[in-house]
């Protein structure tokens, strides 16, 4: 499992690139104080570490005393942030607007009220052009303060205009707040629980959504209001496994950025997430042509300057682009070819281990395990599934459950009869405890238990019977998650035909392409 250091200073230093490290040393060496020279030695010592260890740090540099270390680290952390703040951030609208706001305050404090008002007007125009409501409100509040305290000869109907402007911005901010709260709470539910498991979950989610969705008029809504509205419907549809709703609102989410392309630079993370969800919707609906078209669009973005603005954007692009690339191999039935992605993904997971959240890492492990299982390498599939099973995290209980189910099937494939009975009981207990057992999973467990006593010449008939029973549940939304996470019917078809899972998926893909052609 990844070793995630919790030392914040160490994490910050490890996130720096070569140019940022060089810039920091130049920034600090502008003064020759003894304290700053000590800080540089501390920086160098931490920079050379692979994992943070205070004992090793004190042992390597005897000039650093244990009682001084806490203060030195705090000073170094502050100096690093100051150095990074000096870097060029023209593309970051938040930093630019904060800088302009600081200039307006400096001018005000100098008694240059008209110049300050002029600067605030520029801030409002820039904020409005980039949908930055909070900066608009800050500028308006400052304007009202100046107008109330000083005679600027601009009063006229200024009071009424500023009041109307303030009310309008506040109304938009209130709606943004309500919709962003709803979106975040739905996403949090999904991260913890996955999809709705039963009618009780469905009723609870519908009640929560209806109670928290504010009244809105789409015609008067601005960018962020629409974005959080579409996100809310996106998560709502995905949790309910209403894949058409999920697709419809992920497409609206992406289209919002296409209508205002400048926002891709302002909110690259949100655009990347929108593309990821649109790709996931096409994948779940097996809409290969649209999937391929959207993937090409995402690949083009990945090569653009917008995707290379900062490490956070690069990491998010890596995560979602590679998940989409793996899904493409799932759709095409080219699992073995997909394994070529694994070394590069593993390298990046190691490189980004301090920044990546555990949820993303778990998803990668499961996807890679599925690639190995589909290619017929059950040993490697089990290796990756064990990483999920042995990693004690309270995230994605659905993923934890399906990892165990696939782990069980991989052992079944390998003929590990000595441990299968124990595994069946263990996985069944785990899924029951997590309240994650669907009718499809119950059928699978029932089959696996009976398979021990079946004669070899009766196995094919048993596989066919199970496949027929499971296919009846494919149209049921509450059962669709079983087919989304694990292509159980593909596996059964491979047993019936005596061919690899990969060939079954490939034949299905080619037949679908031929039918559409």
Please tell me whether residues 75 and 117 are part of one structural domain. Answer: no
Dihedrals phi, psi of 29, to nearest 5 degrees = -80, 0
Mean pLDDT lowest among 44-48, 215-219, 344-348, 381-385:
44-48
* Same-domain status, 108 and 131: yes
- Position 338 pLDDT exceeds 90: yes
Q: What is the mean pLDDT of the chain?
A: 87
Q: What is the value of pTM for the model shown?
A: 0.81
In this prediction, residue 2 carries a pLDDT of 43
Total residues found in the chain within this entry:
517
Q: Is the pLDDT of residue 1 over 50?
A: no
Q: How many helices (H) and strands (E) does the chain have?
A: 27, 0
Residues 75/39, Cβ–Cβ less than 8 Å = yes
CA 174 – CA 170 distance, rounded (Å):
6
Question: pLDDT per residue over 194-218, tens digit each?
Answer: 788 788 889 999 999 999 999 999 9
Same domain flag for 82 and 114: no
Give the number of domains in the chain: 2
Q: Does residue 220 sit within a domain?
A: no
End of a domain among 33, 65, 86? Answer: 86
Q: Do 68 and 13 belong together in one domain?
A: yes
Last residue of a domain, one of 68, 86, 104: 86
Residue with tokens 């250091």: 5
What is the extent of the structural domain holding 103?
93-155
| Alpha-helical runs (H) found in 61-157 | 66-86, 93-109, 113-129, 133-149
**493, part of any domain:** no
Q: Do 80 and 110 reside in the same domain of the chain?
A: no
- Whether 282 maps to a domain, the answer reads no
Judgement on whether residues 77 and 17 belong to the same structural domain of the protein: yes
Token pair, residue 491, equals 């596996």
Domain limit, last residue, from 69, 86, 103: 86
Where does the pLDDT of residue 114 fall: very low under 50, low under 70, confident under 90, or very high at 90 and above? confident
Q: What is the mean pLDDT of residues 98-120?
A: 91
Q: How confident is the model at residue 89 (pLDDT cuts 50, 70, 90)?
A: low
Cβ atoms 246, 287 nearer than 8 A:
no
Residue 315 falls inside a structural domain? no
Cβ contact 267:294 at 8 Å:
no
Residues contacting residue 123 through CB under 8 Å, at least 6 positions apart: 97, 100, 101, 104, 135, 138, 139
pLDDT, tens digit, 9 for 90 and up, residues 490-499: 888 888 998 8
* Chain segment 411-465, per-residue pLDDT in tens: 988 988 888 888 888 888 887 776 666 787 788 888 888 876 777 778 888 888 8
Segment 308-329, tens digit of pLDDT:
878 889 999 999 999 999 999 9
pLDDT value at residue 261: 92
C-alpha torsion sign, points 56, 61, 62, 66: negative
Highest mean pLDDT among 164-168, 441-445, 477-481: 164-168
What are the structure tokens assigned to 283, written together? 């994948």
In a domain, residue 61? The reply is yes
Q: Is 48 part of any domain?
A: yes
Is 402 within the bounds of a domain?
Answer: no
Domain annotation covers residue 32: yes
- Looking at residue 197, its pLDDT comes to 79
């Amino acid at each position: 499992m990844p070793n995630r250091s919790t030392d914040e200073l160490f994490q910050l230093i490890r996130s720096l690139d070569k140019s940022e490290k060089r810039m920091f040393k130049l920034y600090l060496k502008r003064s020759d104080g003894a304290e700053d020279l000590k800080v540089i030695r501390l920086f160098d010592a931490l920079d050379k570490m692979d994992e943070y260890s205070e004992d090793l740090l004190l042992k390597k540099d005897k000039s650093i005393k244990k009682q001084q270390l806490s203060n030195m680290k705090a000073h170094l952390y502050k100096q690093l942030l100051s150095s990074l703040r000096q870097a060029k951030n023209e593309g970051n609208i938040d930093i630019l607007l904060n800088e302009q706001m600081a200039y307006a305050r400096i001018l005000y404090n100098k008694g240059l009220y008209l110049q300050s008002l002029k600067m605030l007007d520029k801030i409002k125009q820039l904020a409005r052009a980039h949908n930055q409501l909070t900066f608009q409100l800050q500028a308006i509040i400052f304007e009202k303060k100046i107008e109330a305290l000083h005679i600027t000869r601009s009063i006229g109907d200024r009071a009424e205009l500023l009041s109307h402007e303030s009310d309008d911005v506040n109304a938009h901010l209130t709606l943004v707040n309500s919709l962003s709260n709803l979106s975040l709470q739905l996403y949090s539910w999904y991260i913890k629980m996955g999809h709705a498991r039963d009618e009780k979950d469905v009723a609870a989610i519908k009640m929560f959504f209806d109670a928290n969705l504010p009244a809105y008029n789409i015609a008067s809504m601005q960018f962020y209001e629409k974005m959080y509205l579409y996100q809310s419907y996106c998560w709502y549809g995905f949790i309910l496994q209403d894949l058409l709703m999920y697709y419809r609102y992920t497409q609206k989410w992406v289209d919002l950025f296409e209508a205002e392309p400048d926002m891709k630079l302002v909110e690259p993370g949100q655009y990347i997430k929108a593309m990821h969800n649109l790709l996931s919707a096409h994948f779940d609906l097996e809409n290969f042509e649209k999937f391929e078209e959207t993937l090409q669009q995402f690949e083009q973005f990945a090569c653009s300057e917008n995707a290379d603005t900062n490490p956070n954007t690069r990491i998010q692009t890596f995560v979602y682009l590679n998940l989409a690339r793996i899904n493409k191999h799932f759709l095409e039935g080219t699992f073995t070819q997909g394994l070529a992605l694994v070394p590069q993904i593993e390298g990046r997971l190691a490189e980004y281990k301090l920044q990546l959240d555990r949820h993303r890492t778990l998803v990668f492990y499961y996807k890679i395990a599925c690639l190995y299982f589909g290619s017929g390498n059950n040993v490697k599939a089990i290796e990756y599934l064990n990483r999920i099973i042995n990693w004690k995290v309270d995230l994605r209980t659905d993923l934890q459950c399906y990892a165990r189910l696939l782990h069980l099937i991989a052992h079944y494939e390998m003929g590990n009869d000595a441990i299968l009975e124990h595994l069946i009981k263990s996985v069944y207990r785990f899924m029951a405890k997590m309240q994650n057992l669907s009718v499809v999973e119950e059928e699978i467990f029932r089959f696996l238990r009976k398979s021990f006593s079946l004669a070899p010449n009766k196995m094919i008939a048993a596989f066919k019977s199970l496949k027929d029973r499971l296919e009846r549940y494919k149209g049921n939304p509450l059962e669709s998650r079983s087919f989304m996470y694990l292509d159980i019917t593909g596996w059964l078809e491979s047993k019936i035909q005596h061919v690899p899972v990969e060939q079954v998926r490939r034949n299905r893909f080619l037949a679908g392409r031929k039918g559409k052609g």
